[in-house]
Amino acid sequence: MNISKNNKKFALFLDSGQGGLSILDYYLKSNEFANVIYFGDTAHFPYGKKHRDELFQYIKSIYDNLKKEFDIAIVVLACNTASVSVLDLLREYIKIPIIGTVPPIKVAAEITKNNKIGVIATETTVELDYLSNLIDEFAKDKEVYMKASNPLVKIVEEDSPDDEKDKIIEQELKMLKEKEIDTLVLGCTHYSLIKERIEKYFDNKINVIDPRDGVSKRIKSISDDSINSTIPERILFLSDESSLDKYKKINDKLKIFNKIMVRYID
């Protein structure tokens, strides 16, 4: 049975956890009437260490499952790792617009004053050629220091105590602080949820750049009013029941979704 009403069209946001909510929440502030589905693939969290073939199969299965039930007009990979790993494969398979989330290297290169840029991302993002190619294209005349940091993803997803978050931030970013960077690129959407704590660690003296603004503008430029409704439908799917209570609490704070449910994907 189709649980959507009135033949609504949806924007589908995908991530392995709550990181992509940073993009969705930002987007909805400028388009409050959008019908959205957010699929948190919590059963396969984190995506940051997954192989390209695995990620493609996970996301392909999610899309195939949901498209049987919902009229999906646009897909947003609200995950840097998935975007740099399988965006090309998904664009060949899915015949509707797909927007990826990639580290904003070009923006960083344009605003740095001392030409020292830090980039933090998951292990997979750092290892793939996609990020290196972005640096070669837009920041080849800059000093760019990359740091893989899955622990930062973990403290966000687990909502660790503030003192633990600050401890991990110091451990993970100490090297970049010592390099005296003046610009830091957040290469994972989870990091956006601790952006203020990261800025505080750097004494609020550097530019911390995340992809939320650019991705939101891209969604608005590609989509049209067909995904909007006077009374929008907002659905959160999780692929693991054990995380249901946690996401209900998250939604109590964000107040995005009017439906939350578990959807197991083969």
pLDDT score for 95: 92
Amino acid at 189: T
> What is the residue type of 91?
R
pLDDT tops 90 at residue 241: yes
Instruction: Look up residue 218 and give its two tokens.
Output: 């891209």
- % of the chain with per-residue pLDDT over 90: 95
Tell me the pLDDT tens digit for each residue of 120-165.
Answer: 999 999 999 999 999 999 999 999 999 999 999 999 999 999 999 9
Question: Mean pLDDT for the chain?
Answer: 95
Per-residue pLDDT for 3 more than 90? no
* Secondary structure (DSSP) of 117-177: EEEEE-HHHHHSHHHHHHHHHH-TTSEEEEEE-HHHHHHHHTT--HHHHHHHHHHHHHHHH
Angle between helices 80-93 and 129-138 (to 10 degrees): 100
Q: Could you read off the pLDDT of 22-62 as tens digits, one per residue? A: 999 999 999 999 999 999 999 999 999 899 999 999 999 99
Q: Find the mean pLDDT for residues 215-240.
A: 94
Amino acid 6: pLDDT: 55
- Domains of the chain, each with CATH number or no CATH: 9-101+214-262 (3.40.50.1860), 105-210 (3.40.50.1860)
Residue 102, class by beta-carbon neighbours within 10 Å (0-12 exposed, 13-18 middle, 19+ buried)?
A: buried
Q: Are 185 and 117 in contact (CB under 8 A)?
A: yes
| pTM given for the model | 0.93
Q: Measuring CA to CA, which residue among 248, 260, 186, 255 is closest to residue 19?
A: 186
Active site residues: 79, 188
Quote the radius of gyration of the chain (alpha carbons, Å).
18
Q: What pLDDT, on a 0 to 100 scale, did the predictor assign at position 4?
A: 46
DSSP state, residue 242: G
pLDDT digits (tens, 9 = 90+) for 192-209: 999 999 999 999 999 999
